[in-house]
Amino acid sequence: MADIEAARSLLEGVVRVTPMAGARALSELAGAPVWLKCENLQRTGSFKIRGGYTRIARLTAAEREHGVVAASAGNHAQGVALAARLLGVTATVFMPERAALPKVDATRGYGAAVQLRGETVDDAVAEATAFARETGAVFVHPFDHPDIIAGQGTVGLEILEQVPDVATVLVAAGGGGLLGGVAAAVRARRPGVRIVGVQAEDAAAWPASLAAGEPVALTGMRTIADGIAVGRPGDITFGQVSALIDELVTVGEDALSRALVHCLERAKMVVEPAGVAAVAALMEEPRRWPGPIVAVLSGGNVDPLVMLHVIQHGLVAASRYLTLRVQVPDRPGSLASLLARVGELGANVTDVAHSRVSGAVPVGEVEVELSLETRGVEHRDRIVADLETSGHIVTVTGGG
């Protein structure tokens, strides 16, 4: 705790005390007050500047002369780049060749020399560690170092001051730096608060590691939440997290997509997929934890193309998009009647495909594929039921 408090003094005037936003819709779901800790509004767009600055500021003068090197797909890269610039230290950052262009440009904009190497973050880490050996630059690990954990732990201090009666804190877990730091701060001052880590289920190294009692590496990962897609917990963060948290839960891709759309629509917040993991867990099981609840929005750096894809996926997952195949008689006016009926039901038609060529359609019938915008699950069900009641053969192919 003393180390976290020292990090806070070090970070004063460097990082923002990010806002704590009330979340009325989530509070209604949970039956208790829900607050959003908005680290997506932090400098560089995520909490990473806290740990990065703390680590670099604590280097000796001799270490600073050799510069620093990091590896990241985005958030850590930007945090290290800005921290190094503020402290007058040369920074080199290795990023995967397919890293999102906005994140690459932002890292360069903060003053770091960016090297694009390899297909994955692990490839970039290998390149960065080799660079450190060759040049003497200090490798700034994204999570597995006490200074990094101490810097991230300052988020926990702010949570306790902004919501003094907090009962549950939900935090996204990748390598464990943020989760371990927040857990240390909260547990030291309010030992009764429930601390919950959240991972994407398709990149969840923590459950198996916690069960085994040691870090266990994943053989593969695939998730939209690239910011928390870490294949193995750190040795240092594992000890911290395993000793201090109450539980760890996982969320699927649909849940992450729905949470991102919710943050956009209801909280008016731009948050990346990894950053909404805590909200996704709360939306999946809103009555599971005691309130008041704080969900940490850990980052807001998202590629617009990824955002477009995730929003579309989230709308489908929430049944706001619906795709149907409907059989209608092959005679003039049938398609117009179908579209008129769909309009009367309050759906907006976004696309129509009309085909006579299908082995599954009898002679005298045609198949129409409709893409619709709906108002949610109940509206979707009403549309399908009405069309079936009117004698159409309906197959739901998307959003059902």
Rounded CA separation 77/79 (Å): 6
Instruction: Pick the closest to residue 383 from 329, 331, 326 (CA basis).
Output: 326
Rounded CA separation 68/92 (Å): 6
How many Cβ atoms sit within 10 Å of the Cβ of residue 29? Answer: 16
325 strand-pairing partners: 369, 395
**Sheet strands side by side (includes 293-297):** 20-22, 34-38, 293-297, 168-172, 194-200, 247-251
- Give the pairing of strands 321-329 and 393-398: antiparallel
Instruction: Pick the closest to residue 279 from 268, 263, 264, 302 (CA basis).
Output: 263
CA distances from 186 to 4, 64, 189, 271, 375 (A): 11, 32, 5, 24, 40
| Residues 6 or more apart whose Cβ sits within 8 Å of residue 202 | 221, 222, 223, 252, 253
The tokens 């409709």 sit on which residue?
A: 370
Using an 8 Å Cβ cutoff, are 319 and 262 in contact? no
135 strand-pairing partners: none
Q: Which amino acids are annotated catalytic?
A: 48, 298
Instruction: Pick the closest to residue 171 from 29, 53, 36, 287 (CA basis).
Output: 36
**Is 315 exposed, middle or buried, given 0-12, 13-18 or 19+ CB atoms closer than 10 A?**
middle
DSSP reduced 3-state for 90? coil
Q: At what angle do helices 146-162 and 48-57 cross, to 10 degrees?
A: 130
| Residues 6 or more apart whose Cβ sits within 8 Å of residue 367 | 325, 326, 327, 354, 355, 356, 358, 360, 361
CA distances from 4 to 17, 46, 59, 291, 387 (A): 15, 18, 17, 25, 61
